[in-house]
Amino acid sequence: MLPRSLQKVALFLILLAGTPAMAVEEPRYEVIESQRDFELRRYEPMLIAETQVSGDRDEASRAGFRLLADFIFGNNQVAGQDGSAKIAMTAPVTQEAASSKIAMTAPVTVEPQTGGAGLWRIHFVMPSQYTLATIPKPRNPAVQLRELPRQWYAVHRFSGFATDSRVETKTREALDWIEQKKLKAIGSPQLARYDPPWTLPMFRRNEILIPVAPPEAKGAQ
């Protein structure tokens, strides 16, 4: 019999794998422009559960996931009641270096963008049925709920393993594309992973997302 914490992780991985009978909800967005593996997307407002953890990229990802999975699997309190509730899992799991700064130079660079030990922000997007007023509240103060407004992102899709060197390469490619499109990066790069760990590398779906200013503000087409 698996420990309760491992049961939760196993159940999440089953949910994240998804089947035609049990689809996993993803954030709603509109593709404004698409070019090969790059997209400019406009995301609708969303509600996220997030936590900050330290360590290298993989350590932080695992630690943050455990905290957020604990929240959605029942370590919460329903508004106005004493009980708890399970919250449906969504995809992707998103990771961001909490202290990263983007430096737009010639050439375009991002700093710091290494997988070394540091502070990371991990978040799940909450199911669209919830608002900040109606969603069960975390009992663990390490987990916070936050509303995000409508936001534009430059997105770079890639398969394979999201190693430190690969994430850095794809981030630089995304920043190059932003510069080519005359967009303005306004936030830290985020790594979004959609698949359970047993997924074969060629079938993995990873994305680098970088918040950008609304394209009309820069006159982009």
pLDDT score of 117: 64
Cα dihedral value 136, 60, 46, 217, nearest 10: 160
3-state secondary structure of 218: helix
Look-up of token digits 């799991």: 93
**Intervals of the chain under pLDDT 50:** 1-2, 5-7, 9-22, 100-115, 218-221
The identity of residue 50, as a single letter, is E
- List Cα–Cα distances, 78 to 66, 69, 90, 189, in angstroms: 20, 16, 19, 33
Task: Return the number of other C-beta atoms located less than 10 Å from residue 30's C-beta.
Answer: 10
pLDDT score of 123: 95
Counting every residue, how long is the chain? 221
Look-up of token digits 């199911």: 127
Domain ranges of the chain: 4-218
φ and ψ at residue 19, rounded to 5 degrees: -145, 165
φ and ψ at residue 207, rounded to 5 degrees: -145, 140
pLDDT score of 105: 38
pLDDT score of 196: 83
pLDDT score of 198: 85
4-218: CATH number? 3.20.80.10
Beta bridge partners of 121: 52, 96
Task: Return the number of other C-beta atoms located less than 10 Å from residue 196's C-beta.
Answer: 16
Residues 195, 160: contact at Cβ < 8 Å?
no
Angle (nearest 5°) at CA 155 between 168 and 40? 145
Structure confidence by residue, pLDDT tens digits, 107-121: 333 333 344 568 999
Q: Which of 161, 193, 195, 188 is CA-nearest to residue 174?
A: 188
Q: Which of 207, 69, 68, 46 is CA-nearest to residue 127?
A: 46
Q: DSSP states of 80-120 as a string?
A: TSS-------BS-EEEEETT-EEE--SS-EEES---SSEEE
pLDDT score of 108: 36
The identity of residue 73, as a single letter, is F
